[in-house]
């Protein structure tokens, strides 16, 4: 591929993941490769009386002080999305692996307040809390949540402790949309405003985000819309996410959109992809199968999908080949310096449904891959503003990586050609590139360069130019 930039990219010392072609100018016998997560342990089995068949979905996870917190849906008497037999439940953990359900004593259910419920009733169907990180946010509104359903709209709630929530106001904060899924809000420091990603239904001909009173609001393809607010009170008109023209229109049941930790200028989204007409397991009465996908964005509006294949497949487990499993929770937890933890539901609508942890090595959602016979890729022009080049990479035992610096003349800089590069092999989250034993790039400071990578049975997941 080739896409020359008139102005050099200014990446500073940011980590740049290869989840898209933002940095890439040319690829020869290399390609972008998806890196599926690793399934780990079951962290919460839906086994309490208020955790029935439809539990463990629409989950949110985030770090708060020295604790990780999780909110998820519980059901105990649900006949429809607006059933009163629904709850939003809370769990906490110190390591992201072992989770506890504290007895909160907030709501009485079945004659007891010994439960972990923070919201009860139909509004708990898709209750989605988050920490408000806006500078100057009042302490009594540190935690916020959104929930709702068309035609009423999306309502907001606030809390001082993340457990006792009260309505933010009587009216919905956003009216336009279907909202019958996991709607998300968070403070985005990149834009200095709140961002909301919510459910609407798209027509195959044109976007269908008419007013909720429109009888066609629930017809079409499940899709994601976005809007913003400077103050949580006044919101822009929701607009559909934008994709490249060659991307197919698929049912995105949820979105789980979030800035990636450690590289927050890149937004990642993990929609649960739904195939509503397929039926794989005859003994399961409900129709539909699902998996999930990954996409990325540089502005939170225009989304890239270089990987149309599934991020996670249902696998050999037949109970995952039924509708609405593999729904990623909103949130990426840094459970160690080397590891991201995320969470998905499995066995949805079965009597043993649960939430499972999955992991991704830090910033290794995708890579540029070169096979055994070798390949090359070259970056677009970059304004070099650091003294060393660091790679998040992995090779096989005979694999290798070499990097050359192409200066403004279009030729390899002296002593910095791929042939001058000390061969890299191994598996490192941040390995420093050296040329003839030195990593010093200071002679290129403030200059425009390209980087030429020669890969043999190797993956480059991310790079950083720093000191």
DSSP letter for each residue of 67-95? EEEEEEEEEEE-SSTT-SEEEEEEEEESS
The yes-or-no verdict on residue 213 having pLDDT over 50 is: no
Share of the chain residues as helix, strand and coil, in percent rounded to the nearest 5: 5, 45, 50
Contact 179, 126 (CB under 8 A): yes
- Output the six-digit token pair for 260: 């990636």
Domain with CATH 2.115.10.20 in the chain: 38-361
Instruction: Tell me if the bond preceding 151 is cis, omega within 30° of 0.
Output: yes
When the pLDDT of each residue in the chain is averaged and rounded to a whole number, the result is: 95
Domain with CATH 2.60.120 in the chain: 16-33+366-466
By C-alpha distance, which of 195, 182, 193, 187 is closest to 148?
182
What's the pLDDT score for residue 203? Answer: 75
By C-alpha distance, which of 327, 316, 256, 249 is closest to 288?
327
Q: How far is CA 195 from the centre of its chain?
A: 14
Of the pLDDT bands very low, low, confident and very high (cuts 50, 70, 90), residue 6 is: confident
- Residue 275 DSSP SS3: strand
Mean pLDDT of 49-63: 97
For the purposes of burial, counting CB atoms within 10 Å of the CB of 57, is it exposed (0-12), middle (13-18) or buried (19 or more)? buried
The yes-or-no verdict on residue 217 having pLDDT over 70 is: no
The yes-or-no verdict on residue 206 having pLDDT over 80 is: no
Of the pLDDT bands very low, low, confident and very high (cuts 50, 70, 90), residue 252 is: very high
Of the pLDDT bands very low, low, confident and very high (cuts 50, 70, 90), residue 212 is: very low
Q: pLDDT digits over 398-446, tens only?
A: 999 999 999 999 999 999 999 999 999 999 999 999 999 999 999 999 9
- Residue 286 DSSP SS3: coil
Of the pLDDT bands very low, low, confident and very high (cuts 50, 70, 90), residue 176 is: very high
What's the pLDDT score for residue 83? Answer: 86
38-361: CATH topology is Tachylectin-2; Chain A (2.115.10)
Residue with tokens 């502005």: 299
- Pairing relationship of beta strands 99-100 and 85-93 according to DSSP bridges: antiparallel
Of the pLDDT bands very low, low, confident and very high (cuts 50, 70, 90), residue 72 is: very high
The matching CATH number, chosen from 3.40.50, 3.30.2320, 2.60.120, 2.40.360, for 16-33+366-466 is 2.60.120
């Amino acid at each position: 591929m080739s896409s020359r930039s008139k102005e050099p990219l200014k990446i500073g010392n940011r980590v740049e993941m290869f989840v898209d072609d933002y940095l890439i100018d040319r690829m020869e016998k290399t390609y972008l490769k998806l890196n599926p997560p690793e399934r780990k342990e079951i962290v919460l089995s839906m086994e309490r009386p208020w955790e029935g068949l439809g539990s463990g979905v629409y989950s949110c996870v985030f770090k708060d002080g020295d604790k990780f917190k999780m909110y998820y849906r519980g059901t105990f008497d649900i006949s429809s999305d607006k059933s009163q037999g629904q709850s939003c439940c809370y769990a906490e953990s110190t390591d992201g692996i072992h989770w506890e359900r504290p007895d909160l004593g907030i709501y009485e259910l079945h004659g007891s307040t010994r439960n972990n419920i923070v919201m009860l009733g139909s509004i708990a169907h898709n209750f989605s809390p988050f920490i408000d990180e806006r500078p100057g946010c009042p302490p009594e509104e540190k935690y916020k949540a959104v929930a709702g359903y068309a035609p009423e709209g999306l309502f907001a709630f606030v809390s001082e402790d993340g457990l006792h929530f009260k309505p933010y106001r009587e009216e919905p904060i956003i009216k336009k949309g279907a909202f019958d899924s996991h709607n998300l809000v968070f403070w985005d420091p990149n834009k200095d405003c709140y961002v909301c990603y919510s459910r609407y239904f798209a027509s195959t001909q044109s976007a269908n985000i008419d007013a909720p009173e429109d009888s066609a609001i629930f017809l079409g393809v499940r899709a994601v819309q976005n809007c913003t607010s400077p103050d949580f009170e006044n919101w822009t008109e929701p607009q559909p996410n934008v994709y490249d023209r060659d991307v197919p229109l698929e049912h995105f049941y949820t979105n789980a959109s979030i800035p990636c930790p450690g590289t927050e200028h890149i937004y990642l989204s993990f929609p649960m992809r739904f195939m509503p007409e397929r039926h794989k397991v005859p003994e399961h009465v409900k129709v539909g199968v699902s998996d999930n996908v990954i996409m990325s964005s540089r502005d939170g509006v225009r989304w890239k999908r270089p990987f149309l294949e599934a991020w996670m497949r249902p696998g050999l487990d037949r109970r995952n080949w039924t509708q609405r499993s593999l729904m990623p929770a909103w949130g990426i937890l840094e459970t160690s310096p080397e590891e991201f933890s995320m969470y998905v539901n499995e066995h949805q609508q079965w009597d043993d449904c649960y939430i499972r942890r999955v992991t991704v090595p830090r910033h290794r959602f995708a890579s540029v891959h070169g096979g055994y016979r070798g390949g090359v890729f070259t970056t677009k022009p970059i304004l070099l503003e650091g003294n060393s080049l660091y790679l998040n990479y992995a090779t096989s035992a005979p694999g290798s990586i070499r990097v050359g610096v192409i200066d403004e003349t279009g030729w390899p800089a002296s002593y910095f050609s791929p042939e001058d590069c000390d061969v890299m092999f191994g598996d490192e989250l941040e390995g420093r590139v050296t040329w003839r034993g030195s990593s010093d790039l200071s002679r290129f400071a403030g200059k425009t360069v390209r980087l030429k990578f020669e890969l043999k049975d190797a993956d480059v997941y991310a790079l950083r130019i720093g000191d």
